Structure 1
């Protein structure tokens, strides 16, 4: 929400400094992203004078002008030369003083001035109308300045008009702040000052009554909470007055014509979206017209005001004239019923559409508008009639309209507001601050609440425009917000008869993070929300992950589901870092996954830990060559994590099947503890990396944290170190290629008995001549030791021979000489 400082000052005695106002907004929970000055500089826009005006050689309505811009008359070689500008306006002559935007200027509405050719003639700027400059609504011709206006002066300096605008981030629970009146009310509550707004009133009502000419029907329940319609006849469509254009420009809204501008102006003033229809475009039967609010049919099409043909889903809200759609309810009007210069009779719509349905329509169509933003945060339906009256009064005043008597109001379920008992002692207990009674009453009253004293406590009725205040605790929060959290003295929380501490699960979760950080990974936090199809995008199977949990009111159109894996979010972080030149990325995340269940009200939630590795551990230097991180780097981290957690019977097996299509075949493994699958580790498949715009190799892992914690052990049995020497033997055995190292290690360990202390693979060798085709030589270092005596050579040879015999018999291998 952009808040015009000049406009705000007409409603309330605002602080002299916009910075002070911004600081107080931030203190009370409204973030201010920027403080902009609109119309201050008009960079590259100057006062000018027309020196020559000649007809365009290839146009009957355009002119080629020589325009003097003072000391800025410089051509490409630096010689003094007036600008050549092609202009289509008809209201100027040679000698007139005008306003010119030179190359490099950027006008309101995002218009950038560049060198161009118009019908073969080069043009080096633009002669501007008041509307193009954002200081008036007239665009019939260019802006003519007085004869004594200087030439070449920056227009901002000459015009001397600017406005400070605070760009505020309004939280979703505060729809009342999406208006200038709402921000004036908020400012009054913060500074304990009165605010006042002078709203125009309808002066006279003539002609046929609105209810006699039009009827309103809400055909589908749940689409619209209230619909109010009024008719204004004989309007004169034209430019809006300068004061309105300036205010709309300050708030980032480009003017169109006086009727459309009035609806936008009232929306920004009150927070109630409105729409003006050309009444003549509605189907008429015996002098009567209809407005029908209904749900769209599947694949029904509708052309919105932006000229796009939209394909609608079943259930999206439509406004129709009983025969054809004229607007997308709560989002945008249609091309066929828009206000044009030829419009005479206007139908004013002031309605309140369902928040959830509007949000789905807007986001499913990727069509976000000022109206949809307000409707999906809940508009105050009780004000629909008053806002319609204000709109008609402005049309009467600024467009010469004749307001029809009465209005049509369809309100199926009038809103009721329950009063809340507010306990003063509860306020003190919750806030922990000596907040005076007078402050409690003043604050709530300035926020729009009705406060009635009932002995020691209060009976509070929240205003209809504050749907976020249904409970006592919400009122207390508002009181504390205005009082100031910074004024509350810090105290140590009471802890009677118990000692604080972390649970077993919390301790192990923290230990997981400590281990991964010790392994060189950095903790990150990605969004708990996900885009539809994010698993399919990287070819990750959804089997076993439940159905998607879809958000009713997503904050971002691309994040409409709850995540079912941590991997997509981590891969987005890798892609972001790579795009910004960071190639060595080592991240991990511990987070919650959400698995929807059919016919269940709540999803199943699980804890997961995942990591990604790209690049290398360190940057390469002139004296240090680094290795790229591959599969075994990720496997080593997983092994270290499981060893530190003392998870028993850990083993790895090849990850195969459609469930692992997102991993590179031959470089992926399942992680098991006994027969329980803990997760996976591997290199991401090139197609999955390409889908995420990642060029380099990515090693990743994801483990079920709940299973990890269940299988982890805090302590390990103590074993004394043996004081007797160890004996080492090497064993190289030739086996078929399909025999895995894990298989050999298990068999060696099983056959080695108590004397075998350690076994380690130190070499893998392949040679079709020396070893044989389809075979490999695997060399192990075996360590033998006894806890109670020094081993003899006979004992070691017997144990070693037993291992060799069983190994060769089980695998079909042979000892390599």
Structure 2
């Protein structure tokens, strides 16, 4: 919201230095991004005199002029020289004094003046109208200055008027501050001063009554909370007065004509978006016109004011004449209903459209307007009639319109505002300061609240334009904001029976991050929000993950749910990096997942840790060639993590079926601790990578952090090192291809007893002739050792034979000779 200092001065007494006001805005929570000066930015714009004016050789309406700009333009020898400018205006002659924008000037609306050719003739600048300079609405001809105007004077110096503008960043919870009246009220609360606004009133109402000629119907009450319509007849469309154009320009609104400018002016003044329709665009049936607010049909087409045909989704709001749509509700008008120079009768719309529906419409169509910004933050529905009256009064005054008697007001469900009890003791406890009751009462009153004393406490009724004040704590926040948080004395928070330090869960969570970083992964943080269907997109089943938790007011249309897995966000990071030339991606994230539950007020929240690996560990160097990352790299990281956390009975189980359709078959496994499934690790399926736009192979894992913390042990049980030598035996067993290494290792360990110290696979051999079709030989190195004596050959042989017998019988294998 741009705040005009000159305009604000007409409403309230403010400091002379804009920096002082800016500092107070920032102190009370309104960020000021910049302080601009409008009117002193006319660089390369000067006063000038027309020396000659000759017809353009290739145009019947343009002229080639030589323009004297004093010493602001020089020839090759450094002497003053006139400019050649091609101009299409008809209202000037040789000898007139004008305003000229030279090459390098930037006019309001970001119009950059460059050297150009107009029908083959070089033009070295532009002769300017009042509208092009942002000083008036007249663009029928260039601005003519008095005869005694000097040539070459900077126009900013000549015009002698400027306005300071504060570019304020208004938070989404303060829709009241998206208006000059709102900022005046906020300023009055900050400085404890009264503000006043003189609003015009309708002088006379004549002709046929509005409700006799016009009816309004809200076909879908979810689209519109209130709709007010008034009619003004016999308007004269033309340029707006200079004072209005100056104010609109200061606020960044480009002038059009007096009718459209009035609606924009009132919106900037009050915060209520308005729209002026050419009344004749509403079809008259038996002398009566209809306004119907309805939802669009799926794929219905509509051409907006910017000339673009838009394809609408079902549920988007439309304003129609009963049959034909004329505007996109709360966002933008239509091409066929705009105010033209020949418009005679005008219908003024002052409505309150649903915030959520307006937000979805504007964002789904990528069509953000000043009106949609205000509607999606919630407009005050109680002010619709008053704002419509102010608009009609200005049209009556500026455009000579005749206001029809009465108005049509459709208000299906007026809202009531309950009083809030504000406890003085609670204010002091929350704020940590003894704020005076008189200050509390004055501050809330200046913010628009109705305040009544109730002993030491207060009964407060928030104004309808402050939807962000429904609770006592919100009122306390406003009081402290105005009183000044910097005035609160710093104290150490009170604590009983509590000492500082991290909890076991916090320590282990940090340890998980340390281990993964030591393994070469980089920590990242993705959004806690997700797009609908993001799990289905990569083939990840939703079974067991609860129902989606849908956001009531999502920030963007692509993030309307809370995430149920970390994987989609990490894959998006891989895709982004790959698209920007970074193929080697090694990321991990620790974050929360949200699982909705039927008939439950809150979702179930769990913690998860996940990682993704793509490309290779590093770029190739002169003495090292790195291999592409595959399944066993991810499995090794998971094994290291679980080993460092000292989680017992870890094993990996091959996965298959629809439950893991997002993983490559044969290159994925479930991670278990005993009978508890901790998570999974594997290569992402090529089809899932394709949907995410990823070319490189991606290895990923996701583990339940809550289960990791529960199964982690703080320390190992001490075991003294054996002083006796070890004995190693090799064992090669021929088994079916379906038998896994994990299964064999588990059987060998179980059969080996106390003497078996270690098992290590060192060879896998396949040969259909020597071994047999569908068979493989797996060779293990077995280590035997005793803690209390040196093993004899008989002891080792007995233990080894026991392993051979049990394992071969369990897997139907045989020892390879």
Contact 1:135 1:242 in 2 (8 A): yes
Question: Aligned-pair distance for 1:391?
Answer: 1.0
Query: What is residue 331 of structure 2 aligned with on the other side?
Result: 331
Matched residues in 2 for 1:679 and 1:605: separation? 17
Query: What is residue 594 of structure 1 aligned with on the other side?
Result: 594
Work out whether 1:440 is the aligned partner of 2:440: yes
Matched residues in 1 for 2:664 and 2:79: separation? 65
Query: What is residue 229 of structure 1 aligned with on the other side?
Result: 229
Question: Aligned-pair distance for 1:294?
Answer: 3.1
Matches within 5 A, 1:101-112: 101=101, 106-112=106-112
Query: What is residue 727 of structure 1 aligned with on the other side?
Result: 727
Listed one character per residue, the Cα deviations across residues 220-251 of structure 1 (whole Å, up to 9, x for unaligned) are: 33433222222212111112223322322332
Query: What is residue 571 of structure 1 aligned with on the other side?
Result: 571
Listed one character per residue, the Cα deviations across residues 537-593 of structure 1 (whole Å, up to 9, x for unaligned) are: 545444544444332322223322222222232334445556667666543322222
Matched residues in 1 for 2:193 and 2:506: separation? 49
Work out whether 1:489 is the aligned partner of 2:475: no
Count of residues paired in the alignment: 817
Matched residues in 1 for 2:75 and 2:623: separation? 55
Check 1:420–1:49 CA distance in 2 against 1; reply closer, same or farther (3 A cut). same
Q: Secondary structure at the match of 2:131?
A: helix
Matches within 5 A, 1:154-553: 155-156=155-156, 159=159, 161-496=161-496, 505-506=505-506, 508-553=508-553
Listed one character per residue, the Cα deviations across residues 298-328 of structure 1 (whole Å, up to 9, x for unaligned) are: 4444332223333444443332223332222
Matched residues in 1 for 2:246 and 2:490: separation? 47
Matched residues in 2 for 1:741 and 1:117: separation? 80
Query: What is residue 758 of structure 1 aligned with on the other side?
Result: 758
Matched residues in 2 for 1:157 and 1:571: separation? 58
Check 1:662–1:208 CA distance in 2 against 1; reply closer, same or farther (3 A cut). same
TM-score (norm 1): 0.88
Matched residues in 2 for 1:729 and 1:104: separation? 87
Query: What is residue 136 of structure 1 aligned with on the other side?
Result: 136
Check 1:718–1:286 CA distance in 2 against 1; reply closer, same or farther (3 A cut). same
Matches within 5 A, 1:662-701: 662-663=662-663, 667-684=667-684, 688=688, 692=692, 698-701=698-701
Contact 1:382 1:415 in 2 (8 A): no
Alpha-carbon RMSD across the aligned residues, in angstroms, is 3.8
Question: Aligned-pair distance for 1:399?
Answer: 1.4
Question: Aligned-pair distance for 1:457?
Answer: 1.6
Question: Aligned-pair distance for 1:331?
Answer: 2.1
Matches within 5 A, 1:117-136: 118-119=118-119, 126-136=126-136
Query: What is residue 41 of structure 2 aligned with on the other side?
Result: 41
Matched residues in 2 for 1:501 and 1:84: separation? 78
Contact 2:70 2:80 in 1 (8 A): no
Listed one character per residue, the Cα deviations across residues 21-78 of structure 1 (whole Å, up to 9, x for unaligned) are: 3333233222333444445434565555656555445443344556666777689999
Question: Aligned-pair distance for 1:501?
Answer: 7.3
Contact 1:451 1:460 in 2 (8 A): yes
Q: Secondary structure at the match of 1:527?
A: coil
Check 1:213–1:539 CA distance in 2 against 1; reply closer, same or farther (3 A cut). same
Contact 2:362 2:368 in 1 (8 A): yes
Contact 1:664 1:686 in 2 (8 A): yes
Question: Aligned-pair distance for 1:361?
Answer: 3.1
Question: Aligned-pair distance for 1:754?
Answer: 2.0
Check 1:424–1:805 CA distance in 2 against 1; reply closer, same or farther (3 A cut). same
Question: Aligned-pair distance for 1:462?
Answer: 1.4
Question: Aligned-pair distance for 1:714?
Answer: 4.7
Matched residues in 2 for 1:100 and 1:738: separation? 87
Q: Secondary structure at the match of 2:132?
A: helix
TM-score (norm 2): 0.88
Moved more, 27-36 or 142-151: 142-151
Contact 2:535 2:542 in 1 (8 A): yes
Matched residues in 2 for 1:186 and 1:597: separation? 43
Moved more, 566-575 or 781-790: 566-575
Matched residues in 2 for 1:15 and 1:692: separation? 55
Contact 2:221 2:412 in 1 (8 A): no
Q: Secondary structure at the match of 1:608?
A: strand
Matches within 5 A, 1:577-588: 585-588=585-588
Question: Aligned-pair distance for 1:148?
Answer: 5.7
Q: Secondary structure at the match of 1:131?
A: coil
Check 1:643–1:76 CA distance in 2 against 1; reply closer, same or farther (3 A cut). farther
Moved more, 63-72 or 381-390: 63-72
Contact 2:39 2:156 in 1 (8 A): yes
Check 1:737–1:93 CA distance in 2 against 1; reply closer, same or farther (3 A cut). farther
Question: Aligned-pair distance for 1:351?
Answer: 1.6
Matches within 5 A, 1:710-725: 710-714=710-714, 716-725=716-725
Matched residues in 2 for 1:539 and 1:480: separation? 51
Contact 2:44 2:104 in 1 (8 A): yes
Listed one character per residue, the Cα deviations across residues 511-554 of structure 1 (whole Å, up to 9, x for unaligned) are: 43443344444443322222334345545444544444332322
Q: Secondary structure at the match of 1:475?
A: helix
Check 1:784–1:297 CA distance in 2 against 1; reply closer, same or farther (3 A cut). same
Contact 1:360 1:553 in 2 (8 A): no
Q: Secondary structure at the match of 1:25?
A: helix
Listed one character per residue, the Cα deviations across residues 135-189 of structure 1 (whole Å, up to 9, x for unaligned) are: 3222223344455656666655554554443333322222111111111211221
Contact 1:46 1:155 in 2 (8 A): yes
Listed one character per residue, the Cα deviations across residues 398-428 of structure 1 (whole Å, up to 9, x for unaligned) are: 2122222322223333332222222211211
Matched residues in 2 for 1:434 and 1:279: separation? 59
Listed one character per residue, the Cα deviations across residues 174-229 of structure 1 (whole Å, up to 9, x for unaligned) are: 21111111112112212222222222222333333323332333333343322222
Contact 1:366 1:557 in 2 (8 A): no
Question: Aligned-pair distance for 1:272?
Answer: 0.8
Matched residues in 1 for 2:608 and 2:78: separation? 66
Q: Secondary structure at the match of 1:133?
A: coil
Question: Aligned-pair distance for 1:267?
Answer: 0.8
For structure 1, the residue ranges without an aligned partner over 5 or more in a row are: none
Contact 2:360 2:557 in 1 (8 A): no
